Copies of this chain bind each other. A is one copy, B any other.
Amino acid sequence: MPKLKVAILLFDEVEVLDFAGPFEVFSVTAQLSGYQSLEVITVGKKHQLIRAKNGLKVMPDISIEALDAVDILVIPGGDGSKAVIQDKDLMAWIAMMAQKAKTVFSVCSGARILAKLGHLAHQKFTTHHEVFESVLSLEPTAIPDPTARFVDNGKFMTAAGVAAGIDLSLYVVEKYFGVETREKTAKYMEYGEFN
């Protein structure tokens, strides 16, 4: 299998564990394969420091202009997702990347972004327990599933709040690389699972 490219979107006020959890999972999977199975990159609207929620300062690897296709697109949440859905240029880029990608998933309130792009229409979804109404205001036909740790609709998936991004990332690792790779990744991370 050719190496998969995973891109994790970063933006101001992104929730830290929303992106750091998936980053850890996919990076450990890559590491355990000697970096043969996949490549993980972070991408921001610009190639400059972003200020994540509560002040963590992170430098994206590249800007959106420098990336024109990925296999797996991770869309974290955080208060900053409210500004993202108002940003026409960034939303157009996400829409284009989502179209080309094989798997696209949101974590936590990142579901707002998938909702705004129309990908949750008539679809089951989950998000942070405080954010269901906000997502439904963007996509009234979406079907909330507050009991799900994550929802797999095929190409598009949604994770529940914050830490649930780790669980969905492990699920995606299993989908592409099998249960043994998932288990090795979780063991290296010493992460107990919820599902």
Contacts and interface: CB of A to CB of B under 8 A. Distances in A.
Interface stretch (A19-27, A65-73, A88-96): A19-27
- Counting every copy of the chain, the complex holds 2
A111 interface: no
Contacts of A27: 16, 53-55
A188 B191 CA distance: 19
Interface stretch (A56-64, A113-121, A133-141): A56-64
Interface stretch (A97-105, A160-168, A171-179): A160-168
B61 A59 contact: no
Contacts of A40: 54-55
A75 to B, nearest CB: 17
Contact of A190 (B20, B41, B162): B162
5 contacts: A15-B24, A23-B54, A27-B54, A28-B54, A129-B187
